[in-house]
Structure 1
Amino acid sequence: MTRVLVIEDDPIIGEMLTLYLTEEQFDVQRVESAREGKFALDSYQPDILLLDLMLPDASGTELCAEFRQLTAIPIIVISMKPSVTVRIQAISSGADDFLVKPFSMQELKVRMDAVLRRTSSAKPLAVVYKNEDSTIATEVQQGLTLDLERRTIVLDGEHIETTFSEYEIMRLFYQHPNRVFSREELINAVRGIDSFINDRAIDVHVTNLRRKLEKNPKEPQFIKTVWGVGYKFIR
């Protein structure tokens, strides 16, 4: 059963979320503060996080960035603030989707299913070595590869932690080396057509990936910009 952590201090909205998601066969734990949420990440080990940006002990899009530093699971922000600026800031801070209150519970479930489906649909990426005795599948230890169980990028044997969206972009690149992806293609691959994200958020994710992976982010060797089109990955 999928575990959902709801961080929401409004008792009415919190209770509605808990009841609805429980009826939809999710395992739900709800807390009312950022402090309790951080504790629950470790004790409850959720599969997805629903995060209100206005909590009694913290508020703002920097709150999303804090939780992104603590976990790589999908984060859906739920907020009273409808401004485009707040949405962009939340996505750029690591959120995987954004819903403005009040919202449809059915839409919430569809968006949750979408990010969870993308999380669980990762296929093993391995190099197969053959010898006379057996065929052995193993992950490459040198260079750049992916750890599917931990959902991290492995660079020269070192695990590089990423956000959900950074990992999904890198997984797409890795599966299609040398292919040029437009920003629109990356948006659709990471979010789904219905989710909120724009070109700027994609650029932010690529910039963050370069900082984590490239020896010199200003002269990237892995993720190249194709001017006027988008990006491509050089393996």
Structure 2
Amino acid sequence: MYKVLIIEDDPMIGDMISMYLGEEGFEVIRMETGQKGIEAVKPFAPDVILLDLMLPDMDGLELCRQVRTTSSVPIMIVSMRNKVVERVAALGAGADDYMSKPFSMHEMSARVHALIRRSNLYQNAGENTRVHPTVRHVTKPETNEALIADKNKITLDLQTRSMIVQGQLVETTYSEFEIMKCFVNHPGRVYTREDLLQTVRGFDSYVTDRAIDVHIANLRKKIEDNPKEPRRIRTVWGVGYKFVY
């Protein structure tokens, strides 16, 4: 049974989500303050966190950042705030998904399942890497199972949707992985922001130019030796970005 931690101070919304997910077979607990939510993460060990941004004792983004320092649990923001800048800020704070209230319970449940499924794939990939540290993925273009940038020691596994950088599993969001897949498929090609928007828009219809910049910044932190002076994902001023060996 998968576990969901809801951090939401509105009793009506909190109870409604708890009831719906409980009927879907999840084990659910709800905390009404950010502090109680943080304290519940370790002992409850949730498979996903649903987090409201407007809590009575702390900002939801700050809570998201705090959780990210100790846990990679998927976090989905559920908030009345629906401005693009707020969605972008949530991505930058480490959130994996964002839903604006009001929302469809059916869609919310589907997104929770998707986050847990993706997280499990990452964990399985990480276990395989630790157990077999000398095993390397082999390029198999005929089956399209893996894409490799050997000179950068970056591997993308399409089956598990995982990225390995210099032998270490590096977690990515759905959008980050899709952008990286474009880069590795076509090194040297310049992608405009619109090109990258079209790549990830199928997952998040609210994604914007600014969100693309946030994804790029996050990817640089994950694959660059010095994110402030990127050598792999380079900015092409006035156009977009390109990936180089």
Give the secondary-structure state (helix, strand or coil) at the position aligned to 2:28: strand
Distance in 2 (alpha carbons) for counterparts of 1:86 and 1:110: 23
Distance in 1 (alpha carbons) for counterparts of 2:3 and 2:221: 32
- CA gap of 1:167–1:86, structure 2 versus 1, over 3 A, is closer
Of 160, 181, 203, the residue aligned with 1:172 is: 181
Residue 196 in 1 paired to residue 206 in 2? yes
The match for 1:49 is 49
Q: How many residues align?
A: 223
Give the secondary-structure state (helix, strand or coil) at the position aligned to 2:51: strand
- CA gap of 1:120–1:171, structure 2 versus 1, over 3 A, is farther
The match for 2:13 is 13
Identity %, equivalent residues: 45
Task: Please list, as runs of the form range in 1=range in 2, the aligned pairs for 1:1-235 lying within 5 A after superposition.
Answer: 1-120=1-120, 126-127=136-137, 144-145=153-154, 153-155=164-166, 164=173, 168=177, 172=181, 176=185, 178=187, 183=193, 186-187=196-197, 192-225=202-235, 230-234=240-244
Distance in 1 (alpha carbons) for counterparts of 2:111 and 2:231: 34
RMSD over aligned CA atoms reads 3.9
Give the secondary-structure state (helix, strand or coil) at the position aligned to 1:50: strand
Q: Contact 1:223–1:232 (CA<8 Å) still a contact in 2?
A: yes
Structure 1, unpaired ranges of 5+: 129-141
Distance in 1 (alpha carbons) for counterparts of 2:201 and 2:71: 18
Report the CA distance between 1:77 and its aligned residue: 0.8
Length-normalised TM-score, structure 2:
0.69
Q: Contact 2:220–2:227 (CA<8 Å) still a contact in 1?
A: yes
Report the CA distance between 1:144 and its aligned residue: 3.6
Report the CA distance between 1:36 and its aligned residue: 2.0
Residue type at the aligned position of 1:97: D
Could you report, residue by residue, the CA deviation over 1:106-156 in whole angstroms, capped at 9, with x for unpaired residues?
A: 12123223434444556959336xxxxxxxxxxxxx96446999x77544x
Distance in 2 (alpha carbons) for counterparts of 1:209 and 1:7: 28
Distance in 1 (alpha carbons) for counterparts of 2:108 and 2:101: 11
- CA gap of 1:52–1:222, structure 2 versus 1, over 3 A, is same
Q: Which has the higher contact order (CA 8 A, sep 6+)?
A: 1
Distance in 1 (alpha carbons) for counterparts of 2:197 and 2:118: 13
Length-normalised TM-score, structure 1:
0.71
Distance in 2 (alpha carbons) for counterparts of 1:83 and 1:176: 33
Give the secondary-structure state (helix, strand or coil) at the position aligned to 2:69: helix
The answer to which of 64-73 and 103-112 deviates more is 64-73
Give the secondary-structure state (helix, strand or coil) at the position aligned to 1:65: helix
- CA gap of 1:188–1:19, structure 2 versus 1, over 3 A, is farther
Could you report, residue by residue, the CA deviation over 1:167-213 in whole angstroms, capped at 9, with x for unpaired residues?
A: 63576368636276554565566674345322212212222332453
Report the CA distance between 1:52 and its aligned residue: 0.7
- CA gap of 1:218–1:13, structure 2 versus 1, over 3 A, is closer
Structure 2, unpaired ranges of 5+: 130-135, 139-150
Give the secondary-structure state (helix, strand or coil) at the position aligned to 1:200: helix
Q: Hey, which bits of structure 1, 4+ residues long, moved more than 6 A?
A: 146-149
Report the CA distance between 1:105 and its aligned residue: 0.8
Report the CA distance between 1:234 and its aligned residue: 4.0
Question: Counting strand residues as a fraction of each chain, which structure ranks higher?
Answer: 1
Residue type at the aligned position of 1:4: V
Give the secondary-structure state (helix, strand or coil) at the position aligned to 1:53: coil
